[in-house]
Amino acid sequence: MFCNKSYRKNNADDYRTDFPKADLHVHTTASDGAFSPRETVKLAYQKGISYLAITDHDTTAGLAEAAQECSKYELDFFPGIEFSTVYEECELHILGYNFDWTYKRVRETVIQLQNARVNRIEKMVAKLATLGIQIDFKEVRQKASVSNIGRVHLALVLMDKGIVGSIDEAFNKYLNRGCPAFVPRYKLTPCMALEIIQEAQGIPVLAHPGLSNCDYLIPLLVEKGLQGIEVFHPQHTKADELVYLQMAEKYHLMITGGSDFHGHEEKDLSNFGEMKVPFNSLKKLKNPQSNPTLII
């Protein structure tokens, strides 16, 4: 049971930003972001961010460019990835940090997931055709400027053609689960993602658990090597933050935060670098061998 007394020092409001700004959840054009890795790093620098992780969906394609740019601007860079995973009825996103992205199993997995994405979008294009919406797969491909094609690119084409007025409308009308053009995609299980990240010497962290509503799986994930939990995310409520701070304490998990920056909307720009990240977590990411007190 939640104990106010022992918990008081860990109240979310204690996670102040009187240390360098950080963002540990950021997407680029390597997956479904609006800005290239180069542009994203420049933007981070302009926003005064000192610690940056690039965590594109199921791909490492933006990491080399981002690493190079971060060294140019003297930002602390953490290579990352966000694996989409599914288990039972749960969709969980697993972030991996500071892993060896040249490791064979990482490379093989990323290629496998990329092929699955292409296959899925081809099927969605075919489904749209049956609804009388003619789209050439090549048009969608062109929107995915680096590598990792996804539903957002299809949404952008639907917008260009005037079929929908916004990305949200494209998802709500056609692309979300239950909508007429939806096709499920092959995904890893959370345990596979945890295993791959750990094999590649990385730190696995559960992304935005408040959006998954599958907290019952957290003890299992911890057993399988989960090391952190993203407590601070723009779509988490204050109540979510408290729930996950408590979980972090219970399971000795590192507390992370990130804006889930994609750059398509104005709110992405205002949230960029504004989520709290405890300084001890940054220290831990900078030096995984250190074992600072994980809760400040």
Question: Token match 């972090």: residue?
Answer: 248
Binding mask 30-59 for Zn ion (x = CB under 5 A): ------------------------------
Q: Tell me which residue has its CB nearest to Zn ion.
A: 93
Specify the residue, 24 or 158, whose C-beta has the smaller distance to Zn ion: 24
Specify the residue, 93 or 187, whose C-beta has the smaller distance to Zn ion: 93
Specify the residue, 144 or 295, whose C-beta has the smaller distance to Zn ion: 144
Tell me how far, at minimum, the Cβ of 75 lies from Zn ion, in Å: 19
Helix, strand, coil shares of the chain as percentages rounded to 5? 45, 15, 40
Size of the site for Zn ion (CB under 5 A): 4
- Integer Cα distance of 263 and 196 in angstroms: 28
Tell me how far, at minimum, the Cβ of 162 lies from Zn ion, in Å: 28
Binding mask 190-209 for Zn ion (x = CB under 5 A): -----------------x--
One of 23, 49, 93, 247 touching Zn ion (CB under 5 A): 93
Cα 84 to Cα 75, 117, 220, 228, distances in angstroms = 27, 11, 17, 16
- Phi/psi at 206 (nearest 5 deg)? -80, 120
Residue range at the interface with Zn ion (CB under 5 A); choices 78-86, 158-166, 241-249, 275-283: 78-86
Under DSSP, is residue 194 helix (H, G, I), strand (E, B) or coil? helix
Residue pair 95/205 in contact by the 8 Å Cβ criterion: yes
- Integer Cα distance of 242 and 232 in angstroms: 10
Tell me how far, at minimum, the Cβ of 293 lies from Zn ion, in Å: 28
Tell me how far, at minimum, the Cβ of 126 lies from Zn ion, in Å: 27
Tell me how far, at minimum, the Cβ of 91 lies from Zn ion, in Å: 9
- Integer Cα distance of 37 and 29 in angstroms: 7
Residue pair 227/198 in contact by the 8 Å Cβ criterion: no
Q: Does 260 bind Zn ion (CB under 5 A)?
A: yes
Q: CB-based burial of residue 283 (10 Å sphere; 0-12 exposed, 13-18 middle, 19+ buried)?
A: middle
Q: Does 185 bind Zn ion (CB under 5 A)?
A: no
Q: Does 264 bind Zn ion (CB under 5 A)?
A: no
Binding stretches for Zn ion (CB under 5 A): 82, 93, 207, 260
